[in-house]
Amino acid sequence: MLQIIPSNIKPSDFHSYMVGAIAPRPIAFVSSSDQMGGINLSPFSFYNAFGSNPPLIIFSPALRGKDGGVKNTLENAREVDEVVINVVNYAMVQQMSLASTEYPKGVDEFVKSGFTAIPSELVKPPRVKESPVQMECKVKQIIQTGVKGGAANLVICEIVLMHINEDILNDKGIIDPYKIDQVARLGGNWYTRASKGLFEVPKPLKTLGIGVDALPESVRTSKILTGNDLGMLGNIEKLPEEEQQLLYENRTDVKIFFSVLAGDPENLTNEVHLEAHKLLSDNNITEAWMLLIAHQKK
Ligand SMILES: Cc1cc2nc3c(=O)[nH]c(=O)nc-3n(C[C@H](O)[C@H](O)[C@H](O)COP(=O)(O)O)c2cc1C
């Protein structure tokens, strides 16, 4: 057996063994507010339920690995002792990953990741409309466990109101595991979809993704592109270079694609979005972007 004494290796290396070994972990998608009403949305997989009477949840925004800095969610939970913990299903996973980008305090990750904020009833932070279960919580206690990067901060929360989308219930009124369709986190880029198994989502950029709010309106409001597609498109740092774009637009297959439906803008939009969806399913984000930009120019 490989044996490791944690203090003998770099904390970041030990972290990667821990998250590989202690997995899959559920994901708390936490909305929080500061005193001025600024809102924040970030995922945390150091998270679980610990009792049901009272209904108790703990999640841990650790001190930042690189500099020991405090994450915005922790700052907010200290300022306003209320959070909402939203369940993440498969349809939300790419946008949730985009929301984990370390945007500066004051940037609203609801806007960046393209989720809809709806008011809560008993707490200040809003809920994520797209989430199948949203739990309004009061923060009971925060336990700081250290001062170095990676140290846990246990945010102990009590659920005061749970919202459940009735579409995920079975005929007995119980949550159906296929309908709720949760995802969970493992080590590296790995996730699991409870009903189907492992898949990967590349970590969001260290640089800041442009965000779903920066996508052209026709893309954001597409009836064909999914939330996962928008999350992938919003995670790029900048659009393809002009030269690369022109080379793409001059490809014979691309010219034929656009000429076939030239007189029928509605069908052309649908075909472009269907093709972009296919490209994104194959992880070909650059080509999906070039296709959408070429379409914008028509
Ligand atoms: C699925 C997922 C799970 C995460 N779990 C944690 C976690 O448990 N603790 C943590 O400190 N950071 C975790 N992160 C990273 C934070 O989401 C990230 O640092 C985020 O930018 C914090 O945002 P904030 O500064 O707005 O609070 C996770 C990221 C992802 C994508």
Q: Whose CA is nearest to atom 20 of ligand 1?
A: 100
Any idea what the Cα angle at residue 284 is, between residues 280 and 224, rounded to 5°?
20
Q: What is the mean pLDDT of the chain?
A: 96
At 256-267, the pLDDT tens digits run 999 998 889 999
Closest CA to 280 of 245, 216, 236: 236
SS3 category, 69:
coil
Is 87 a residue whose pLDDT tops 90? yes
Q: Which of 2.30.110.10, 3.20.20.30, 3.40.50.2300, 3.40.718.10 is the CATH number of 6-200?
A: 2.30.110.10
Q: Residues 157, 59: contact at Cβ < 8 Å?
A: yes
Other beta carbons within 10 Å of 198 = 10
pLDDT at 14: 97
* Substitution candidate for ligand 1 out of 16, 18, 44, 80 with most atoms within 8 A of CB: 44
Q: Which atom of ligand 1 is nearest to the CA of 74?
A: 27
At 99-139, the pLDDT tens digits run 999 888 789 999 999 999 999 999 999 999 999 999 999 99
pLDDT at 206: 72
φ, ψ (nearest 5 deg) of residue 136: -80, 130
**CA 138 – CA 120 distance, rounded (Å):** 12
Other beta carbons within 10 Å of 238 = 8
Kindly state the tokens that stand for 70.
Answer: 């405090």
SS3 category, 88:
coil
pLDDT at 2: 97
Is 207 a residue whose pLDDT tops 80? no
Ligand 1 pocket, Cβ-based, cut-off 6 angstroms? 27, 40, 42-46, 60-62, 71-73, 97, 100, 102, 185
Q: How far is the CA of 61 from the centre of ligand 1 (A)?
A: 7
At 161-181, the pLDDT tens digits run 999 999 999 999 999 999 999
In the chain, list all ranges with CATH 2.30.110.10: 6-200
Is 286 a residue whose pLDDT tops 90? yes
Closest CA to 137 of 56, 198, 69, 73: 56
Closest CA to 294 of 262, 263, 265, 272: 272
Going by pLDDT thresholds of 50, 70 and 90, the confidence category of residue 238 is confident
Omega of the bond leading into 24 within 30 degrees of 0 (cis): yes
Q: How far is the CA of 294 from the centre of ligand 1 (A)?
A: 35
Q: Residues 130, 116: contact at Cβ < 8 Å?
A: yes
Give the residue ranges of DSSP H helices in the chain: 11-21, 72-79, 93-99, 109-113, 177-180, 217-220, 227-234, 242-249, 252-260, 265-281, 285-296
Q: Which atom of ligand 1 is nearest to the CA of 63?
A: 11
pLDDT at 104: 85
pTM for this model (two decimals): 0.95
